[in-house]
């Protein structure tokens, strides 16, 4: 598969560092768990896609919540560009024996997912879209919208622009940042007409925008 995203090279080199720094040390995993526990996004028969899953923290959290609720029929699919990130996630899946989680290496800008990866109740894209060139974000959102079932939900977490993130994200981690107005515009352009900005953790509210869009 032809890799079109420079994040692939970055995370091939930093997969374990990312897992240690963001998920563990900075507490991103705990913040996601708190958010999803309070949001009720998981239902008994859901089909869920984690788009740009990285080391799998979103799916890991949702899987655990589904398991705790007895929703063992929930199906999880997850893709990422980077094999080294997926390898970390796959080791977690193997330890859990989580047979309902299926992984693929794929590009959100290219039709590389299996045919049965469609009609999702929920798609989550957590800190992925900021790694795309800004002119390609609308295409990515359009592709994700096509994978949703009618009435399905796309939940996006994306880096918010401010003085801190312009230095940390743009200069050090090589990502783009966005204002709420920019996000509203690109979602509109991608065909979403039901868009809501959701509150997130107070600790991360200066750094992350959370957008819920309905098909």
Question: What residue spans define the domains of the chain?
Answer: 43-111, 119-215
Q: What is the dihedral of CA 28, 30, 32, 37, to 10 degrees?
A: -170
Q: Which residue has the tokens 């990502």?
A: 175
Give 70-108 pLDDT, tens digit per residue: 999 999 999 999 898 899 999 999 999 999 999 999 999
Q: What is the pLDDT of residue 99?
A: 93
Q: pLDDT value at position 2?
A: 42
Q: Across residues 25-40, what is the average pLDDT?
A: 84
Its CATH architecture, for the domain 119-215, is 3-Layer(aba) Sandwich (3.40)
Question: DSSP string covering 66-107, please?
Answer: HHHTT-TT-EEEEEES-HHHHHHHHHHHHHHT-TTEEEEE--
91 is written with which tokens?
A: 């080791």
Q: Kindly tell me the sign of the dihedral angle through the C-alpha atoms of 92, 98, 104, 109.
A: negative
**For residue 151, is pLDDT > 60?**
yes
- Mean pLDDT score of the chain: 87
Q: How confident is the model at residue 163 (pLDDT cuts 50, 70, 90)?
A: confident
Mean pLDDT over 172-176 rounds to 72
The angle that helices 137-147 and 180-189 make with each other, rounded to 10 degrees, is 60
C-alpha span between 157 and 153 (Å, rounded): 13
Domains 43-111 and 119-215 share a fold: yes
Give the domain 43-111 fold. Rossmann fold (3.40.50)
User: Taking the model in full, what pTM does it have?
Assistant: 0.88
Q: Does pLDDT of 25 surpass 90?
A: no
pLDDT value for 12: 46
Euclidean distance between the first and final Cα of the chain, in Å? 29
* Mean pLDDT, rounded, for 28-56: 93
For residue 102, give every residue at least 6 positions away whose Cβ sits within 8 Å of its Cβ, in sequence order, or none: 75, 76, 77, 78
- 8's enclosing H/E stretch is helix 7-18
Residue 57 has pLDDT above 60, yes or no: yes
């Amino acid at each position: 598969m032809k890799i079109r995203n420079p994040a692939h090279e970055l995370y091939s080199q930093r997969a374990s560092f990312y897992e240690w720094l963001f998920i563990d040390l900075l507490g991103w995993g705990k913040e996601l768990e708190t958010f999803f526990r309070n949001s009720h996004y998981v239902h008994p028969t859901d089909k869920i896609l984690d788009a740009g899953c990285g080391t799998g923290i979103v799916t890991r959290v949702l899987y655990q919540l589904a398991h705790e609720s007895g929703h063992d029929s929930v199906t999880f699919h997850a893709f990422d560009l980077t094999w080294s990130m997926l390898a970390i996630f796959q080791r977690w899946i193997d330890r859990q024996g989580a047979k309902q989680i299926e992984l693929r290496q794929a590009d959100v800008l290219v039709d590389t997912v299996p045919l049965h990866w469609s009609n999702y109740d929920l798609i989550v894209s957590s800190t992925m879209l900021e790694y795309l060139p800004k002119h390609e974000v609308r295409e990515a959102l359009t592709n994700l919208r096509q994978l949703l079932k009618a009435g399905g939900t796309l939940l996006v977490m994306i880096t918010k622009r401010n003085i801190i993130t312009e230095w940390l994200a743009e200069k050090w981690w090589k990502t783009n940042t966005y204002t709420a107005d920019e996000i509203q515009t690109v979602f509109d352009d991608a065909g979403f007409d039901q868009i809501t900005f959701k509150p997130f953790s107070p600790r991360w509210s200066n750094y992350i925008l959370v957008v819920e869009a309905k098909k």
